[in-house]
Amino acid sequence: MRNILAFESSSDFASLALWRDGLVIGSREFASKRSLSADLFPALAELLEGSEPVDRIVVGLGPGSYAGVRIGIAAALGLQSVWGCELVGIASVTAMGEPGEVFQVIGDARRGTWYYSQIAAGECQTGPVLLGSSEELSSAVASGSGVVRSSEILPEALGAEFRAPRAAVLAELAARDSGIIQRGDLEPLYLREPHITRSA
């Protein structure tokens, strides 16, 4: 795989990376909490200026910000329609370490729940799975291997170091055909059905 473009927008820190012939030749990283749409497209235009069409686009699918992942997928689909390239998706949690590293990822899934994943060599060995309590989370971490990371700052008692997923890692994984969980029509990783409040 010669030219790869990677999108990672599942957390508050988005990134883009352009990979060519085994190396990251350009990348952009920026805070994206409230202004992802406004920040992503200028950064993308700057990154792609003068570049060749890519062979594969990879998108981090979360878990994380549903809106952020959707925006990344939409941008990737737009470029795919122009270039006619392959589109693949990888769980964002795999991009929170180096491609050969063994580590664990935890996150706050809201409403008193957590998510957990065990990563090894760029693949999710476990999860991401939804856990119903902090006790279940502690048990999962105790049974896992490697450093514990989170893409958000969590209470110190959970012992997780902050690490945002990086598009450069997604690009390297995609170049190795590692960690790919979706091809073509991409969807954010859902840990559960969306919570909908119906009107009385």
Percent above pLDDT 70 for the chain: 94
Which CATH number does the domain housing residue 8 bear? 3.30.420.40
Residues 86 and 35 in one domain: yes
Q: Look at the pTM and tell me if it is higher than 0.85.
A: yes
Alpha carbon distance 108, 187 (integer Å) = 20
What average pLDDT score do residues 122-134 get? 95
Residues 174 and 75 in one domain: yes
Looking at the domain assignment, is residue 189 inside a domain?
no
Q: Take residue 2 and report the two structure tokens written for it.
A: 């010669």
Alpha carbon distance 56, 173 (integer Å) = 12
Residue 200: pLDDT band with limits 50, 70, 90? low
Residues 17 and 100 in one domain: no
> In total, how many domains does the chain have?
2
Say what the pLDDT of residue 195 is: 53
Say how many C-beta atoms besides its own lie within 10 A of residue 113's C-beta. 17
